[in-house]
Structure 1
Amino acid sequence: MNAETSPRSLDRVAADAAQLTQAYRAPEILRVVNVWDAVSARVVAELPGTAAIATAGHAIAASHGYGDGEQIPLDLMIAAIERIVRAVDLPVTADLDGGFADAGETVRRAIGAGASGANVEDRLRPFDESVALMRAAVEAGEREGVPFALNARTDALIRGGDRPRSESIADAIERGRAYLDAGATAVFVPAILNAEETAQLVAGIGEQRVSVIGLPGALRAAEYEALGVARISYGPMPQNVALGALKALGADLLADGVLPAGVEQLNNF
């Protein structure tokens, strides 16, 4: 697969967005292994079964020496997304954190970089403000002529604090329905979700409308698929695993080790 040498046209991004939405709607769960740069995107894109590329905002920030939570300058984030888009020939959905203070403008710039979808976080802002945030993201795509595949993230569970879990589930459902009404393609509810909670979310938000994260302790992708979940992603965990492997290898080499036999060359462009 050859890297692209020019930006994607709006027609191509629109086609990618339609393809991405179709992948969300399919009964088979959309499995995305999150990436953080061009070479990680290339490696994942070449794996059989990869239908789309998803960036991890935390991982991109870390690769540039920044912490999570919009500490990385937006220009750097957009540039990283564009490099990832150019490295692959698949739809790319970007992690845009909380919208970088202007979700509409940030989505417009992401589309210009070739992204056909994105995660945008509500960060448990007030309800009306959160709905307006998601609507702004969707409308930005409409102005560009792109049916942007917004995976609207609600932090109702991970920022729920001490309130009962049932209240957080109910909040996620209320917010999720509102985000879909605002034009979102799916609703991302990050948390370690058991089968009962997942079934409640799917019943309340809709089949093939809920997106989850695969953290240690979560269900298997096939189990989420059977419950009607649209997408599973893994956030910064793939980068964590890669860095852990690098750390272990480095320690071995610094202790007078040798490279294992049969090391595969993966980073050639």
Structure 2
Amino acid sequence: MSQIDKANAFAALHIPGTPVVIYNIWDAGTAKAVTKAGAKALATGSWSVAEAQGYPDGENIPLDDLLAIATRIVNSTDLPVSIDFEGGYTADPEPLATNITALIGTGAIGINFEDQVVGSSDLYPIDTQAARIKAIRAAADAAGVPLFINARTDLFLKAKPDTHATHLVEAKERGAAYAEAGASGFFIPGLTDHGMISDICDASSLPVNVMMRGALSSIAEVAALGVARASYGPSPFAQSMTQVAEGYSAAAAS
């Protein structure tokens, strides 16, 4: 498939009530393994990609290195590949467009794009983040690729679970603004309350993505809430590193 065909196929996988399962990868090797296991699409997690190269998360891995990893992943599989692009490696729309053009050049067909100010505890104001999403969409249109922009809000990751209900109104406002700006999906990591997730799914014009953790342990359960994408974030990497350490310990003790 062409890059455009892959982008369209990826978007079509986002069906509320029948979520696409994203078991997040971090290099070409894990891309091949998850592809062989029967995945329909692939996506990286920024934490995993950074940690695998010895960097902390938060755009600490150099952009050129990230682009090289994205290229190796895309070249290792026939599946659509989305890249966790964090905050785009810049706050400003003009250089952001340049970075997006470079990412599209790797063959990737989608991104995660977050609204936290990287390296800070703050979120971008809604209008500022919407302008950033507009710049991404314009860059993708100029490149001729219908890039899947999975607009992530960090509202729930940055708040204690017992306060999540107080952030629902703002989350819906952000989702609506991001949709109008050209986003393709709405990602709400950190929110695990079933009722609140269902509420956001009902209100959102975009397919909703959740991160499977805590109370979110079953794809069938999140499907029933109206979720269209279920991803696993850093969990696959963390589990793999635990297995490596345990393997070494067992070998050394034998």
The TM-score with structure 1 as length reference comes to 0.86
Q: Deviations over 1:138-174 (max 9, x none)?
A: 2111110011111010111112469942231211111
Specify the code of the residue in structure 2 equivalent to 1:95: D
Report the equivalent of 1:169.
168
Specify the code of the residue in structure 2 equivalent to 1:170: V
Specify the code of the residue in structure 2 equivalent to 1:210: V
Distance 1:72 1:172, change over 3 A: same
Specify the code of the residue in structure 2 equivalent to 1:96: F
Deviation at 1:219, TM superposition (A): 4.3
Deviates more, 1:84-93 or 1:217-226: 217-226
CA distance in 1, matches of 2:172, 2:16: 21
Specify the code of the residue in structure 2 equivalent to 1:135: K
Check the 8 A contact 1:107/1:141 in 2, yes or no.
yes
Uncovered stretches (5+) of structure 1, i.e. residues with no partner: 1-10, 257-269
Describe the SS at the equivalent of 2:236: helix
Q: Deviations over 1:100-149 (max 9, x none)?
A: 00432222111100100010101121111111111111211111001111
CA distance in 1, matches of 2:18, 2:74: 24
Percentage of identical aligned residues: 33
CA distance in 2, matches of 1:103, 1:241: 33
Are 2:32 and 1:30 equivalent residues in the alignment?
A: no
Report the equivalent of 2:157.
158
Uncovered stretches (5+) of structure 2, i.e. residues with no partner: 117-122
Distance 1:109 1:18, change over 3 A: same
Specify the code of the residue in structure 2 equivalent to 1:86: N
Specify the code of the residue in structure 2 equivalent to 1:188: F
Specify the code of the residue in structure 2 equivalent to 1:54: A
Check the 8 A contact 2:47/2:56 in 1, yes or no.
yes
Question: RMSD over aligned Cα, in angstroms?
Answer: 1.7
Matches of residues 49-60 of structure 1 in structure 2 within 5 Å? 50-60=39-49
Distance 1:32 1:162, change over 3 A: closer
Specify the code of the residue in structure 1 equivalent to 2:7: A
Deviation at 1:36, TM superposition (A): 0.4
Describe the SS at the equivalent of 1:25: coil
Are 2:97 and 1:108 equivalent residues in the alignment?
A: no
Describe the SS at the equivalent of 1:51: coil
Describe the SS at the equivalent of 2:111: strand
Are 2:89 and 1:96 equivalent residues in the alignment?
A: no
Deviates more, 1:34-43 or 1:121-130: 121-130
Check the 8 A contact 1:186/1:209 in 2, yes or no.
yes
CA distance in 2, matches of 1:97, 1:41: 19
Check the 8 A contact 1:193/1:219 in 2, yes or no.
no
Report the equivalent of 1:267.
none
2:245 to 227, 231, 247: 247
Describe the SS at the equivalent of 1:24: coil
Describe the SS at the equivalent of 2:26: coil
CA distance in 2, matches of 1:25, 1:218: 18
Report the equivalent of 1:122.
115
Are 2:148 and 1:149 equivalent residues in the alignment?
A: yes
CA distance in 2, matches of 1:153, 1:71: 19
2:208 to 204, 207, 210: 210
Deviates more, 1:224-233 or 1:152-161: 152-161
Aligned length: 244
Distance 1:160 1:132, change over 3 A: farther
Check the 8 A contact 1:156/1:169 in 2, yes or no.
no
Describe the SS at the equivalent of 1:68: coil
Describe the SS at the equivalent of 2:50: helix
Distance 1:216 1:26, change over 3 A: closer
Describe the SS at the equivalent of 1:152: strand
